[in-house]
Amino acid sequence: MHKTNNPAPAASNADLVHDLNGRFGRPGVAHFDIGPGGLTCLHLTPPTASLRMLLHGAHVLQYQPAGHQPVLFVSHSSPYEPGKPVRGGVPICLPWFGGEHTDPQAPMHGLVRTRAWEVAAVEPLDAHTVAATFVLTADEQGRRFYPHDYEARFTVRVGPMLHMALRMRNTGRTPLRFSEALHTYLRVGDIHRATLRGLEGTEYLDKTLDFARCTQDQQPVTFTGETDRVYLHTRATCVVDDPALGRRIVIDKTGSDATVVWNPWQQRAAAMADLDDEDHEDGWRTMLCVETANAAEHAITLPPGAEHEMTATLRVEPLG
Ligand code: TA6
């Protein structure tokens, strides 16, 4: 085939949106537009819920089941630009969680949350649910920190519940070691009154105590200060009771042995330029991260050709 020295001009965002709507748009159920910061945004709107997500990081921005308030927290001062992670929604942490990399220059939470993913499929599953799948493979830029071949696939299934599935496949010839998280920012009415059930008696690493090993007592987790914990050996369903909004959020998971719980609280949040709420007030008061993960000692090693899937399913129930 004749190779040209003049690569095709990069498609404009408008061209990309037009192409994506032509290939994957479904009237009334799925459409793409130019979202915040000029980033390409997918809207999934089955009759039972709505979801917005960016190709940037395959980042779920918001999920709102019919009859309920938005489920996710998204900071009103989040950046929306290539190379920067969005603050809020569901950042995908892969191929490492947090600072789990030997190179201090390596970006926090891996590579994929600041990369543009490709749309692989958008399909109604039934009258109530629509699914979308995004794909990302290794690129030269990332090889500096992670010299491996892999394919990551992220599928969202939007309906009365939000089902998210992150699948990692080793497409290389050597074992692939990775850690991961769906870094879900839940929206709560008041963190002071929220509680988290499901982790009673569970061992955790407390980042605020230099990752000291601790054990959760037989009570729900309550929040009175900076909380940053990697709960270990747990496949438990977590339940966030939110009396301020009169609801509970249930998070079921599969393929995950760790659950990360985080709220920066006032002092650490004050040092974060991108964390505030719709009133440009203290975003930390109305957010709680409950992250479905495989981190710390639960990092995964895949032989060539093997794959692993981790899922999280969120649903909202009235508190009563
Ligand atoms: O998941 C909790 C955590 O690792 C915290 O330690 C804090 O760093 C948070 O993630 C946010 O990280 P980010 O890089 O998104 O600012």
Per-residue model confidence (pLDDT) at position 278: 72
Sign of CA dihedral 165, 171, 177, 183: negative
Average pLDDT, integer, range 92-101: 98
Using a cut of 0.85, tell me whether the model's pTM lies above it: yes
* Token reading at 249: 């959020």
Asked if residue 1 has pLDDT above 90, the reply is no
Q: Specify whether the CB–CB gap between 148 and 174 falls below 8 A.
A: yes
CA of 74 to the centre of ligand 1 (A): 14
Active-site choice (59, 101, 148, 183): 183
* Token reading at 264: 């920066």
Rounded Cα distance between 167 and 92, Å, is 11
pLDDT, tens digit, for every residue of 31-80? 999 999 999 999 999 999 999 999 999 999 999 999 999 999 999 999 99
Rounded Cα distance between 113 and 96, Å, is 11
The response to whether residue 108 sits with its C-beta less than 6 Å from ligand 1 reads yes
Distances (CA, A) of 104 to 98, 108, 143, 145, 211: 11, 9, 15, 10, 17
Tell me whether the omega of the peptide bond preceding residue 95 falls within 30 degrees of 0, making it cis: yes
Q: Give the bridge partners for 177, in sequence order.
A: 301
Rounded Cα distance between 230 and 42, Å, is 31
**Residue listed under structure tokens 């989040």:** 78
Mean pLDDT of the chain: 95
CA of 112 to the centre of ligand 1 (A): 15
Sign of CA dihedral 121, 124, 126, 129: positive
Average pLDDT, integer, range 216-240: 98
The verdict on whether 151 is a catalytic residue reads: no
Active-site choice (59, 101, 180, 291): 291
Per-residue model confidence (pLDDT) at position 279: 73
Q: Which of 72, 76, 86 is nearest to 312 (CA)?
A: 72
Q: Specify whether the CB–CB gap between 316 and 248 falls below 8 A.
A: yes
- Atom of ligand 1 minimally distant from the CA of 183: 1
> Which residues 6+ apart lie within 8 Å of 240 measured at CB?
186, 188, 194, 195, 196, 248, 249, 251, 288, 290
pLDDT, tens digit, for every residue of 258-270? 999 999 999 999 9
CA of 289 to the centre of ligand 1 (A): 9
